[in-house]
Amino acid sequence: MIKNMKWMISVILILCGTMTAQAAQDEKNGTPFFTSEDLPNIANFLPAPHEFESAAFVYDQTQHLWGKLQRLNEERAQMAINDAVFGMQTIIDIYGPMFGLNITKEDTPEIYKLLQDVSCTTDSITVRAKRQHMRLRPYVYYKEGTLIPEKEEKHAGEGSWPSGHTSLGWTTALLLIDINPAATDGIMARAYEHGQSRVIAGYHWQTDVDAARLAASLLYIKLQGNERFQQQMAKARQEFKEKTSGQTRINAPSTQSTATGQSLVYTLSGQPATSETRGIVIVDHKKVLKH
C-alpha cells in the first residue's frame, strides 16, 4: 500500500513538473502584441527614480525596512518567494482560484492563448526605462541578502526601476478581471500583494513597484486598441461564458454579504477564510489583521 502510494505521488510530481515546464515553454512561444519600440518610453514622462540619499529616498528606505519586517511572517515570506518565479504559470497559480476557471491549454485554449500572448508582452513597457536608469537594486545598494539568494547574481546587473514582475502581475490581473469582472476585488488585492512581494523579497524599491503598476495600466490601455487583442479577447470572453454557463461568480472573491448578513472574508490568496485563518485577510474591500 505504501509502495503504491509513493508511486502515485511520484507520478503526480512528474506531471506537475511537466505542466509547469510546458506553461513556461508556451509563454516563450507566445506572440507579443507589441515590441518596446511600439510603446511609449515611460522614462520620458514618469518621475525619475529617487536619487540615493535624497530626502525623497527616505520613502524607499522606509519601505525597504518594512519589507524586511514582513519576512518575519513565514507565510508572507513564502508568498514572496513563490511570487518571484517569473512567468505565466505563476500567474495561473495565484489568480486561478479567484478567476473562476482552471486555466489550462487543454480546457481553456482561448483564455490560455490570450494570457500567453499578454504575458510575453509585459516586459515591452519596462525594458527601455530599466536600461535608461539602471537603478541599483536594494540588495546591491546595501550589500545584503534577499529571500531568493540563488537569483541575486543574475539580477544584480539589471536595472531595478520599474519592476518587471509587478508589470507582469498587474497587466495579467487587469486582463483576467476584464474577462470576469466579478473577480475584481480578489484578483486586484492579490495583484497588489504580488508587487509588494518584490519589496519584501529585497529585489525592488517601493517606487520601482509603484512605477510598474502605472506602466502596466498604460500597457493595458494600449492593448485595447490592438485588433488581434480585441479578437482574442472576444474569444476568451465567449469561452469563459460557455464554461461557466453564465455564472460569472464561480469561485470569485466577493465582498457581498451572505444571506445571513455577514460579510465574506478572504485570504490574500483568494480563498474563503475559515475560523482557523490567521493573518491578513480581505473584509469589505479592506485588508485587516485576523487574530
| CB contact at 8 A, 63 and 205 | yes
Confirm whether 165 is a catalytic residue: yes
Bond into 162 cis (ω within 30): yes
List the catalytic residue out of 76, 137, 194, 198.
198
List the catalytic residue out of 26, 60, 117, 208.
208
The grid cell for 123 is 516586459
Confirm whether 178 is a catalytic residue: no
CB contact set of 290 (below 8 Å; sequence gap of 6+): 265, 273, 277, 278, 279, 280, 281
Give the N- to C-terminal CA distance of the chain in Å, as an integer.
41
List the catalytic residue out of 76, 128, 137, 204.
204
Confirm whether 83 is a catalytic residue: no
List the catalytic residue out of 165, 190, 194, 213.
165
| C-alpha distances out from residue 66 to 12, 28, 60, 70, 135, Å | 38, 35, 10, 6, 20
Confirm whether 60 is a catalytic residue: no
Closest by CA to 252, choosing from 95, 113, 109, is 95
Show which residues are catalytic: 165, 198, 204, 208
